[in-house]
Structure 1
Amino acid sequence: MATNDRRGLVLVMTGHGKGKTTAVVGLALRAAGNGLSVAFFQFLKGTWNYGELEVLAGVPRIDVERMRAGYSWEPNRLEEDRALAAAAWKKARAAVLSRDHDLVILDDVNYVVHYRLLALQELLDLIRRKPSRVHLALTGRSAAPEVIEAADEVTEMADLKHHFRAGILAQPGIEF
C-alpha cells in the first residue's frame, strides 16, 4: 500500500548503457525546481567541459562539486588515487549526514567502490545512516548487489545500440 509520507529515498542508476549521469542531472533540476536543495558530487569526471555542469552550476539550490580532475587509473598512482577518493568521500559523506541538502547525488560512486578506491562497507554504512528525509542518488556501472538490495529504486541503463560502434565519435551536446 502506497503512502504519502515524505521520506528520503535511495536511488541507484547503474548498467553499461549511457544516461546515468544524464538521469541525475535531470533529477537535480527537478528537485531544485520543486524547491529542494541539491548537492551534486562528481567523483570521476575529469577537467573536460561538460555542458550539463555549466548549466547546473548556475541553478539556484544546486551545489556542484567535481571531486578530482579525473583519476589516473595508472597502477603506479594507486595510492594517490586512493587518497583522492578518501578526500572526496569525506566531503560527500559529510554532505549527506549534515542535512544541509534534501538530495545528495554521488555521481560515479559505484565505480569508486568497484575499483576498490572506497570500501563497499563505507557506502553501505552511509546508506544506513543517512538522515531519514535526505534523498541519496548513486550512479555508475557495476553497482554492488548489496547496494542494489539497500536501494529503494534501481534503474539499469542498457547499451542496446551505440553510434560509437559505427565509428561515430562523441558529439558535443549529446555525450558531453
Structure 2
Amino acid sequence: MSDSSHLDRMQRKKEVIDERIARASEERGVLILLKGNGKGKSSSAFGTLARSLGHGQKGAVIQFIKGRRETGEYLFFRDHPQLDWHIMGQGFTWETQDRQRDIEAAEAAWEIARGLLEDPAYNVIVLDEMSYMFKYDYLDTAPIVEALLRRPAHQNVIITGRTMALPLQEIADTISTVQDDRHAFRNGVKAQAGIEY
C-alpha cells in the first residue's frame, strides 16, 4: 500500500470514528457483562477497576465464589483507600459440596451488593463470579435486575462468570465474551500465583 493510499484510508476511518464519538453524547454508568469459558474475565474486571481508581473514583468488589485462597488482586488492592473488598464465597461449588451453605453465602453476598448498588458514593462495583449464582439457582435474577436498573445513574457495574443469565444480558450495555482456544492447565501445567490467582 502506498503512503497516499494509507493516508486516504486513515482519513476516512477518522471521519467515521469522529462521527461515532459526536453521536455518543449520553453520560451515565454502564452495566458490563464479562462471560465465556476463556481465561481473563475477572482480570479484565480488575483492570477496569484499576483504571477507575486511577481517576480517583470509589469502587467495591464482591467475590461470590473465590473464598478459599487470597488472590493476587486482593493482595494488591486490599489496602487501597478508595476500595471496599468483600470475599463472600466458600470456594468453588465442587469444593464445598454443600448447596444450602452456598445459597446462604450467595444471599449474604447479595445483601452487601444490594446496599452498594443503592449508594451513590460508589462509581464502580465488580460482582465477581456472580453469574454462577443464577446458573445453580442460588439467587433469583428478578431482584438483581431491579436493583441494577434503580442504581445511581453514574454507577458502573461489572459482572463476571462463564454463563450469563438472559435477564442480565437483556439490560446490559456491554457484553464481552472471552473464548477459550487453549489453556495450559489442560496440558498439565499447574495453576500458579500471579497467573491463575
TM-score by length of 2: 0.83
Q: Do residues 82 (structure 1) and 100 (structure 2) align?
A: no
Structure-to-structure mapping, 1:6-155, within 5 angstroms: 6-70=27-91, 72-73=93-94, 77-155=98-176
User: In structure 2, what is the Cα distance between the partners aligned to 1:47 and 1:100?
Assistant: 29
Q: Percent identity?
A: 31
User: In structure 2, what is the Cα distance between the partners aligned to 1:10 and 1:115?
Assistant: 22
Q: Can you give the 5+ residue segments of structure 2 that lack an aligned partner in the other structure?
A: 1-19
Give the direction of change, closer, same or farther, for the CA distance of 1:151–1:72 in structure 2 (3 Å limit).
closer
Give deviations 1:30-58, integer Å, cap 9, x for gaps. 00001110011111002212111100112
Measure how far apart 1:68 and its partner are.
Answer: 3.0
Give the direction of change, closer, same or farther, for the CA distance of 1:75–1:135 in structure 2 (3 Å limit).
closer
Give deviations 1:107-145, integer Å, cap 9, x for gaps. 011111111110121221122221211111111111012
User: In structure 2, what is the Cα distance between the partners aligned to 1:163 and 1:129?
Assistant: 41
TM-score by length of 1: 0.92
Runs of 4+ in 1 over 2 A off after TM superposition: 1-6, 68-77
Give deviations 1:51-88, integer Å, cap 9, x for gaps. 11100112231211111332555797322221221111
Q: Can you give the 5+ residue segments of structure 1 that lack an aligned partner in the other structure?
A: none
The DSSP-based 3-state class of the residue aligned with 1:70 is coil
User: In structure 2, what is the Cα distance between the partners aligned to 1:68 and 1:80?
Assistant: 10
Q: Is the 8 A contact 1:71 1:81 kept in 2?
A: no
Structure showing greater Rg: 2
Give the direction of change, closer, same or farther, for the CA distance of 1:44–1:74 in structure 2 (3 Å limit).
closer
Letter in 1 for 2:59: V
Q: Which moved more, 1:150-159 or 1:116-125?
A: 116-125
Letter in 2 for 1:58: D
